[in-house]
Amino acid sequence: MNDVKEPLIRLVNITKRFKELTAVKGVSLDVYPGEKLVIIGPSGSGKSTLLRAINLLEEVDEGNIRFEGREVGYVTRLGKRHLDKPHNICTLRAEIGMVFQHFHLFPHMTVLGNVMEGPLTVQKKGADESRQIAVDMLDKVGLSDKKDVYPATLSGGQKQRVAIARALAMKPKLMLFDEPTSALDPELVGEVFDTIHTLADEGMTMLIVTHHMGFARELADRVIFMEAGSFLAEGEPKEFFSKGQENERIRGFLNRLL
């Protein structure tokens, strides 16, 4: 991947504090177009906070984010950092889709309505165009037959696939997945995994936080182990899962999951 000169997204010295707790400690990362990067590590290690910072759902205390070569998210006024204008934040979020552990679907809207919402209200597309985009995205995740039902009637796996379709409807260049299968019963994990696998095969750039080692083994170009707000180790999956066993902390973590 690194033969591409310019990363799609570059994080430089990202630091996020919650009062006395430093959740993310000076993290730097380049993610290149088409790359699939999986971040693993114990709960509370800063993985989800880092993802939320990339999508500007958490305001960072230090560092900067560059997307397609331009610095995004923040402006400096009178020597103090501030979040950028809401319009610019919304524009960036349209290019960086995010799927959460809990699905956050609108219960009063049909499945089709949920997926249409972004193109319709954020991107200001017409109703017919937004509807067609939503239909296409639901077809992509295998849920065309559920377009007229409400989220309460769906299984957890189906809800997560709708959430993925909703993010894809914005035509993002980067997808962030924050523990996309951890709220699912084990028998429902496969359908979400298959959907993400399809996106990977199509060349979508992805950053996935997960405890599901199948994502790391089968999808990742790189695996990163994060602990206490820092990156402890990284490598290609084959290398990571063999050499990682030499590190007592990583070995203990993997032995609990594998």
Q: What pLDDT, in 10s, does the model give residues 150-199? A: 999 999 999 999 999 999 999 999 999 999 988 888 888 888 999 999 99
pLDDT at 246 over 80: no
pTM for the complete prediction?
A: 0.91
**Dihedral sign, Cα of residue 138, residue 181, residue 222, residue 10:** positive
Torsion angle defined by CA atoms of residues 167, 168, 171 and 175, in that order, rounded to the nearest 10 degrees: 70
pLDDT at 139 over 80: yes
Query: What whole-number distance in Å separates Cα of residue 125 and Cα of residue 112?
Result: 15
pLDDT confidence of residue 97: 93
Query: What whole-number distance in Å separates Cα of residue 134 and Cα of residue 117?
Result: 9
Chain mean pLDDT for the chain: 90
pLDDT confidence of residue 214: 83
| Position 183, amino acid | A
Mean pLDDT of the 60-75 span:
92
Decide if 151 contacts 105 (C-beta within 8 A): yes
Residues 6+ apart with CB under 8 A from 102: 183
Decide if 37 contacts 204 (C-beta within 8 A): no
So what's the architecture of 9-102+172-257 in CATH? 3-Layer(aba) Sandwich (3.40)
Mean pLDDT of the 106-110 span:
95
pLDDT confidence of residue 101: 84
pLDDT at 247 over 90: no
pLDDT confidence of residue 244: 66
| Position 133, amino acid | I
Cβ neighbours, 10 Å, residue 7: 20
